[in-house]
Chain A
Amino acid sequence: MKPVNHHPLVSQLLRSVGASENAAPSMEAWRELLALMSEMHYKTDRDRDELETSIENSAHKMQELERKVETERVEQDAILRATLEAAEGGIMLVDYEQNVIAVNRRFVEMGQIPDEVVASRDRPAMIAAILTKVKAPGAIAARAADHYKTDATARDEVELLDGSLIDWFSAPVFTPDGIKVGRVAFVRDVTGERHAQQQIEKARLAAEAASQAKSHFLANMSHELRTPLTAVIGLSDLLLLERDPLVPRQREYLNGITSSGRHLLALVNDILDLAKIEAGKTELKLEPIPIYDIVEQSLTTIAPLAETRGVLLEPATIVAVSEVRADRVRLRQILHNLLSNAVKFTDRGGRVSIRVRSDHDRVSIAVIDTGIGIAARDLSRLYRSFEQLRLPSGDRPGGTGLGLVLTKRLVEMHGGTIDVESQLGVGTTFTVRIPVG
């Protein structure tokens, strides 16, 4: 008998019931075979049903998921869009295929980009539109291209044709797994900011230059004034030292030249002093100073001026105090300034006096005059530079207008105070109080 070529599955079935492939199976084998086949059918149907149900379920779930994802995406888009629009500056996000992923209204406004260009979502078109509004578009275009390529952040300043300045900051955008997907630009109008910065810088430079010019001027002035003063004082002193006798008038005039020269020198020093004090560069040499000596010296120095003006200098009154701890030169300067003011603002026939007394832990030195007095409204101007009070005639009283300013500063450097009491037409009293030790 010719062997039958069974389907391999049939061969397998036959073998499983113990039937030969080439012999007719027994009844028993047939039954077994049929039962087996029935079982297989049944199982297949059941499996298929299960599979179908499962597929149906999955599809349903998928749909649900998709709906959910879509809802979330719409929500997130809305949030992102709202965030973009809420930003103060302009924002544009691009990918690396020259597409604009997102752009906010502010960006469009600042770049003055036409709506159709915005709608195109085409990065080169956006950039081109912006470039028509900027100064030096060539350079900006080149830099924009460089920034598009780089993996780093970039910052640029773009000047628009209308004069406004835009700060353009851009950074690469990465996915959480580090894949670079695009670049985001933040643009900000910094015209006002930059303008304010420039103004501040300009003011700072001007102030610095002014301060330098002032120092330079002071140094030069000192030098330029001292050179001719050297000649004035030195030459007249040389003549005074000559052995040949001078006639009294010559001697008097020479003395006038030297004393004026020295006075001028003192003024130069005053101005430099004030400049140095105001720069915080002055140090005092504190030592015990005999009051009587220094008051007498001051009165002697001021005597010629008082005599010229017909003002009587009264002998000093010194009560219960013999010394004060001070810088000799500076204290003399203080007294001289107060005395010369008193004499200058006192009419012919008036009196100027000094009263020194102990006042608790201080020495109080009062310079009193019976002069023209100071109006209440002028008291606040007393210690200001170059704010000289006028004489009743309207004339300036002479001097630099720095005397009281310097005096106040010097008194304060001694840890002291200066006060003034005055009554128009009656007189003025300046009182300096300096710690005893």
Chain B
Amino acid sequence: MARILVAEGDRWSRTIVFELLMSRGHDVLCATSVDDGRAQLDSVKFDAVLLDTSIPGGGGKTLLREIRKYSLAIPVIAFTASAMDGDRDRLLSDGFTGSISKPFDVKSFGEALEAYLLSPS
């Protein structure tokens, strides 16, 4: 069981991910914007962050940069609806631990995310 921050701007994506992760026994908190995410990261210690690359208030990169300032170890997984070539490589070079594309497969999502939890960052 891990404590996971789901920082996602789209309401329905947030709902689906929240339900899927809760059903797998994780402790899930949600953030809807960069500011919201920052506030939660300041007050709670998370094991991982699932971060919408186009989250309102500056996008995933903005929040990622702030997270990386104080922790290089915490897995931050890009949650992206962009599927252009080179996007994944760019996300990794930006400092994301990995990425999950939208739309995602509901049946395999949990395992995909948990793979990043176990991998040392």
Contact = CB atoms under 8 A, between A and B. Distances in A.
A272 interface: yes
Contacts of A156: none
B83 A234 contact: no
A219 B103 CA distance: 15
A223 interface: yes
Contacts of B105: 237
Interface in B97-111: 101-107
Instruction: Tell me what chain A mostly uses at the interface: helix, strand, loop, or mixed.
Output: helix
Contact of B54 (A223, A237, A281): A223
A226 B106 contact: no
Given A229-B103, A230-B102, A238-B19, A223 B13 contact: no
Given A234-B12, A238-B19, A281 B103 contact: no
Given A230-B103, A238-B106, A223 B82 contact: yes
A276 interface: yes
Given A222-B81, A223-B81, A237-B106, A230 B19 contact: no
A261 interface: yes
B12 A231 contact: yes
B84 interface: yes
Nearest to B101: A226
A265 interface: yes
B42 interface: no
A234 B54 contact: no
Contacts of B15: 235
A272 B83 contact: yes
A321 interface: no
A222 B80 CA distance: 11
B83 A231 contact: no
Interface in A217-270: 218-219, 222-224, 226-227, 229-231, 233-235, 237-238, 241, 261, 265, 269
Contacts of B10: 227, 230-231
Given A223-B54, A237-B107, A238-B106, A230 B12 contact: yes
A272 B101 CA distance: 15
Interface residues of B, number: 20
Interface residues of A, number: 22
Nearest to B85: A281
A223 to B, nearest CB: 5
Interface in B65-121: 81-85, 101-107
A225 B25 CA distance: 31
Contacts of B107: 237, 241
Contact of A234 (B13, B82, B85, B101): B13
A379 B63 CA distance: 54
B84 to A, nearest CB: 5
Contacts of A235: 12, 15-16
Nearest to B19: A238
Contacts of B20: 238
A13 B120 CA distance: 132
B103 A261 contact: yes
B56 to A, nearest CB: 13
Contacts of A281: 85
28 contacts: A219-B82, A219-B84, A222-B84, A223-B82, A226-B83, A226-B101, A226-B102, A227-B10, A227-B13, A227-B102, A229-B103, A230-B10, A230-B12, A230-B13, A230-B16, A230-B81, A231-B12, A233-B106, A234-B12, A235-B12, A235-B15, A238-B19, A238-B106, A241-B106, A261-B103, A265-B103, A269-B83, A276-B85
Given A222-B82, A272-B83, A281-B85, 8 more contacts: A223-B82, A227-B10, A227-B102, A230-B13, A230-B81, A234-B104, A237-B106, A269-B83
- 4 cross-chain pairs, A with B, having the tightest CB-CB distances, nearest first: A231-B12, A237-B106, A226-B81, A234-B16
Interface of A: 218-219, 222-224, 226-227, 229-231, 233-235, 237-238, 241, 261, 265, 269, 272, 276, 281
